[in-house]
């Protein structure tokens, strides 16, 4: 296993910039997830690492060697495809042995290594089956075993769970993560599924429109989103447009004055608040920012209630109220007092 | 309800009629091959296997069969060698005038055999005049012309196979360390095998049975089986011809049944 580093990576098609100046360093044995909406450049980045897309600029280094201009078959990075891409005319064992054969592993060694890979993915007794005779989950394991058998320097996963049903996906997530940790595999996974990314990653890279918006742990991304996009993309946020009038002071477009520690330089901006930081009713007592609001909509979600309230005519906010015995469900039209601390919100200047 | 049932009967009736229309000549040829008398007339005077012996001992038929076999095998192989790369280029790459090239490659299939034969004949004469190489009436000339009628089958069936092909399995092979040639040989070709087998079979049959074009191109002492049969018919109408035809029908039918066991022809054609 090895470090992988990407510097100033670019991909353009004519005038269209798909990947724009991406810098990522993956530590030895780290599980990094590229996350972003579709079309953000995450898959193109992965395909450049695998060698299927020639970069328009920048460098890719695996371990000590610069692989930027190497063809795919010389890169030693195991890729698990979204469609699994198993060879339909080969048995499971032949599929898994293919990489070994290509890397000139002596025939006598291949058998034990195939068996070892199959043991890792917990799929025994299927060696002589053909891919079409396997379920989606089994095919996924074969694809993983095939990539692992050749002991790649880096493991690449392209939306590996998106073709599995919901229940299986939860199980496989944990299995892949355990396997990755035990083998110490340097891994990059691409996904658009936020929950999948949060549960599996050591660190995450949030991408949008070809650019890296933020790299960090789950906690860093949630508690200190670098910009408004990340604040909206990772978890949920209530956004209030307005401007910073003085250090520590924010005025909403509707004219409400809000105390906010993060308000520093004067100018137009957006205040982002996490729903769970907003206190309700009696708990809002004594908080610097306290407002009377109208309930617009309330949804009962079991462990919590999601409540939409109107701060004034234009501004709506989302609250999450934890469920507990005796809680009275708010109804549309009810008046509700809400409040939050001065350190609860983050301000993003306009354009950031 | 009655309308639906009537519709179904009508459809089955029409299908039965068409099938009968296709099979009728085959049935008569088969029947005729066993007639005892020399001049075909109804009802038959009796049955015999003598015409099969006659066909098997007819030197022009045997020579024609061997030549047709040679030409069909070689032109099928050349057709595959040319048609597969052409199909790959057409499906995978945006080549200039792609649709035009594709139509051009399929053209020999729809061109009347006489036209194709005349054109090839004139072309080969011109080539011979220009280069002083004896092309006309040579085995090479005949094979080249037959390759022309094999190519459309290869292009049609192989492009169809490639259209539904998941490119990511080629990428998977490369990711696992296979270079372009190994990828093609170990992954691409086996994946389009049904199309290849069907192309080879239909190309072979088309070449083997070709009469109109071959008429222009055969040389002295070099006659294909269909031409040998035609020449025989100019002088005699005894059931030897029916027996020779039946042998061909049985051989081709057997080839199709055997092929169908390995690749379902109905899926690719």
**pLDDT for residue B33 is more than 90:** no
Q: State the pLDDT confidence band at A51, using cuts at 50, 70 and 90.
A: very high
Closest residue, chain B, to A152 (C-alpha): B176
Q: Nearest-CA neighbor of A226 among A352, A318, A38, A345?
A: A352
Inspect the interface and report whether the beta carbons of B171 and A83 lie closer than 8 Å: no
Q: Which two tokens stand for residue A287?
A: 């908080």
What pLDDT does residue B139 have? Answer: 81
Comparing A32-41, A127-136, B39-48, B56-65, the range with the smallest average pLDDT is B39-48
Token digits of residue B120: 């090839």
Question: Rounded distance, CA A234 to CA A214, Å?
Answer: 11
Tens-digit pLDDT profile for residues A259-277: 888 888 888 999 999 988 8
pLDDT band at A2 (very low <50, low <70, confident <90, very high): confident
With beta carbons less than 8 A apart as the criterion, state whether B147 and B82 touch: yes
Residue of A nearest to B172 (CA): A85
- Average pLDDT of chain B? 85
The CA distance from A172 to A122, in Å, is 11
Going by pLDDT thresholds of 50, 70 and 90, the confidence category of residue B166 is: confident
B178 and A83 in contact by Cβ < 8 A?
A: no
Residues B34 and B16: their CA atoms lie apart, in Å, by 26
Q: What is the mean pLDDT of residues A3-9?
A: 92
| Three-state SS at B92 | helix
Q: What is the pLDDT of residue B244?
A: 82
Contact predicate A108/A81, CB 8 Å? no
> Would you call B13 an interface residue with chain A, using a CB distance cutoff of 8 Å?
no
Q: Give CA–CA dist B147/B217, Å, rounded.
A: 13
Residue-level pLDDT at A48: 94
Decide: helix, strand or coil at residue A71.
coil
DSSP label at A205? Answer: E
pLDDT band for position A34 (50/70/90)? very high
Q: Cα separation of A236 and A271, whole Å?
A: 13
Query: Which chain A residues have any C-beta within 8 angstroms of a chain B C-beta?
Result: 50-52, 71-79, 81-83, 85-89, 98-99, 102-103, 146-147, 150
CA–CA min distance B72, chain A (Å): 29
pLDDT band at B267 (very low <50, low <70, confident <90, very high): low
Q: Is residue B245 scored above 90 in pLDDT? A: no
d(CA A140, nearest CA chain B) in Å:
13
- What ipTM does this complex have? 0.83
Beta bridge pairs of residue B80:
none
A79 interaction partners in chain B (CB closer than 8 Å): 171-172, 175
Which of A272, A150, A264 shows the shortest CA–CA distance to A222? A272
Query: Could you give the angle at the alpha carbon of A94 between the alpha carbons of A140 and A178, nearest 5°?
Result: 35
| pLDDT, position B269 | 58
């Amino acid at each position: 296993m090895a470090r992988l580093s990407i510097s100033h990576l670019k991909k353009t098609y004519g005038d269209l910039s798909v990947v724009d100046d991406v810098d990522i360093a993956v530590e030895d044995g780290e599980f990094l997830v590229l996350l972003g909406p579709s079309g953000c450049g995450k898959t193109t980045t992965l395909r450049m690492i695998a060698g299927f897309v020639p970069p328009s600029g920048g460098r890719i280094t695996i371990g000590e060697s610069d692989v930027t201009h190497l063809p795919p078959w010389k890169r030693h990075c195991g890729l698990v495809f979204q469609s699994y891409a198993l060879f339909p005319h080969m048995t499971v064992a032949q599929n898994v042995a293919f990489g070994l054969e290509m890397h000139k592993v002596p025939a006598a060694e291949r058998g034990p290594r195939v068996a070892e890979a199959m043991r890792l993915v917990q799929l025994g007794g299927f060696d002589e089956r053909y891919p079409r005779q396997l379920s989606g989950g089994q095919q996924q394991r074969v694809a993983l075993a095939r990539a692992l058998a050749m002991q790649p320097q880096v493991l690449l996963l392209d939306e590996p769970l998106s073709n599995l049903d919901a229940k299986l996906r939860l199980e496989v997530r944990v299995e892949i993560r355990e396997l990755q940790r035990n083998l110490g595999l340097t891994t990059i996974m691409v996904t658009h599924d936020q929950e999948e990314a949060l549960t599996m990653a050591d660190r995450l890279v949030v991408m949008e429109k070809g650019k890296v918006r933020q790299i960090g742990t789950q906690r860093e991304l949630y508690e200190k989103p670098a910009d408004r996009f990340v604040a909206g993309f990772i978890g949920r946020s209530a956004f209030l447009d307005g401007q910073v009038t003085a250090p520590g002071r924010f005025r909403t477009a509707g004219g409400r004055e809000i105390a906010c520690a993060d308000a520093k330089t004067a100018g137009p901006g957006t205040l982002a608040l996490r729903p769970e930081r907003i206190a309700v009713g009696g708990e809002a007592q004594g908080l610097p920012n306290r407002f009377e609001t109208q309930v617009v909509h309330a949804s009962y979600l079991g462990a919590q209630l999601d409540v939409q309230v109107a701060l004034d005519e234009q501004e709506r906010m989302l609250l999450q109220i934890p469920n507990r015995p005796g809680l009275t469900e708010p109804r549309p039209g009810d008046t509700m007092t809400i409040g939050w601390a001065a350190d609860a919100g983050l301000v993003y200047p306009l354009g950031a | 309800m009655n309308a639906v049932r009537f519709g179904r009967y009508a459809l089955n009736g029409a299908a039965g009629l068409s099938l009968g229309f296709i099979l009728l000549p085959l049935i008569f040829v088969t029947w005729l091959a066993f007639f005892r008398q020399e001049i075909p007339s109804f009802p038959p005077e009796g049955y015999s296997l003598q015409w099969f012996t006659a066909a098997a001992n007819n030197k022009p038929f045997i020579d024609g069969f061997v030549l047709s076999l040679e030409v069909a095998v070689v032109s099928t192989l050349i057709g595959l060698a040319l048609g597969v790369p052409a199909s790959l280029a057409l499906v995978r790459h945006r080549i200039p005038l792609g649709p035009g090239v594709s139509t051009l490659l399929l053209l020999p299939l729809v061109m009347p055999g006489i036209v194709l034969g005349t054109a090839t004949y004139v072309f080969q004469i011109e080539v011979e005049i220009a280069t002083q190489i004896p092309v006309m009436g040579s085995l090479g000339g005949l094979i080249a012309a037959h390759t022309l009628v094999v190519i459309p089958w290869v292009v049609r069936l192989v492009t169809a196979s490639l259209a539904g092909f998941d490119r990511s399995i080629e990428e998977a092979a490369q990711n696992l360390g296979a270079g372009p040639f190994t990828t093609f040989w170990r992954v691409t070709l086996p994946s389009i095998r049904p199309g290849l087998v069907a192309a080879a079979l239909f190309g072979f049959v088309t070449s083997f049975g070709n009469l109109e074009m071959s008429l222009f191109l055969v040389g002295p002492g070099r006659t294909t089986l269909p031409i040998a049969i035609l020449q025989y018919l100019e002088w005699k109408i005894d059931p030897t011809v029916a027996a020779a035809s039946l042998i061909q029908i049985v051989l081709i039918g057997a080839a199709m049944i055997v092929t169908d066991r390995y690749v379902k022809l109905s899926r690719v054609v």
